[in-house]
Amino acid sequence: MSEKFEVKLIGIENVEQMTNVHLSAFSNNLLSQLGFNVVKRYYEWQFTDIDKYNKKIYALGVFELENMVAFSVFGMARNAKIGFLKKNWSFLMMMVIIKFYKIKFNHIIEVVKNFKYFVVKVLVSSNDKVLRIDNNEDNIYGILVTACKQEYEGRGFGSILMRRAEKVARENKAVGIKLSVRETNEHAWKIYEALGYIKVVDDLGNWVGNSMIKKL
């Protein structure tokens, strides 16, 4: 067996390494544009606030010796970014103002286009709704994020982490596992399809909310 890479359970003590992986994997996303401390706070929040709802969050990392090269966070909560936005609204607004020069035009367009969605989700809904705690959804797990450092892409670490997540979900009697992926990220959603995930579609066959689900 290859001893170079190892999969381990990770926790809040690994947040700085997770942040570095996130910044490498998603260098262009809005959270990354806001900087290391914002991304770090996002993952700290995942390990702390979501746990307050007694919904266990799991995280697994792929390590090359002590260096984390990929990770996945999953569990009984979904829509983590909206929950994070709601709980950290003022901090994020301050960071947006400070880092405004770094925010790309396409991110501004995206926020404007989704303004109604943000208002409803962030300002109006309760925390429970924001976090989509799935008491009524027959124990469906969600994959909050799977990230891999750019220089380690193409080695199948994402698939390995996803399958481990599915195993944990099955052990916890979950009947399904869900994720969301950008439609433009064709490489990612094709991998998810290969792993058995199917797109959630409406009656007209339109892809709903960029969601994919796998029956366990």
Partner 1 sequence: MKTIILNVINEIKVNKGLETFSEAMISNDSDLRNDLGLDSLDLAVFTVKIEEETGVDVFETGIVTKFGEVLVKLENS
To the nearest whole angstrom, how small is the minimum distance from the Cβ of residue 203 to partner 1? Answer: 29
To the nearest whole angstrom, how small is the minimum distance from the Cβ of residue 146 to partner 1? Answer: 11
Number of residues that bind partner 1 (CB under 8 A): 24
Residue burial 44-77, b: 16+ Cβ < 10 Å; e: rest: bbbbebbeeeebebbbbbbbeeeebbbbbbbbbb
Q: Which range, of 19-27, 31-39, 50-58, 155-163, touches partner 1 by CB under 8 A?
A: 155-163
CA distance 49 to 43: 10
Conformational region of residue 210, where left means phi above 0, alpha means psi within -120 to 50, and beta covers everything else: left
184 near partner 1, rule: CB under 8 A: no
CA distances from 198 to 1, 74, 84, 210 (A): 32, 18, 27, 11
The residues that bridge with 114 in the sheet, in sequence order, are none
- Which listed residue (159, 172, 210, 211) binds partner 1 by CB under 8 A? 159
Which of the residues 62 through 81 are near partner 1 (CB under 8 A)? 62
4 near partner 1, rule: CB under 8 A: yes
1 near partner 1, rule: CB under 8 A: yes
- Which listed residue (75, 142, 158, 176) binds partner 1 by CB under 8 A? 158
204 near partner 1, rule: CB under 8 A: no
160 near partner 1, rule: CB under 8 A: yes
Which of the residues 11 through 70 are near partner 1 (CB under 8 A)? 62
Q: What residues line the site for partner 1 (CB under 8 A)?
A: 1-2, 4-7, 62, 153-160, 163-164, 167, 187, 190-191, 194-196
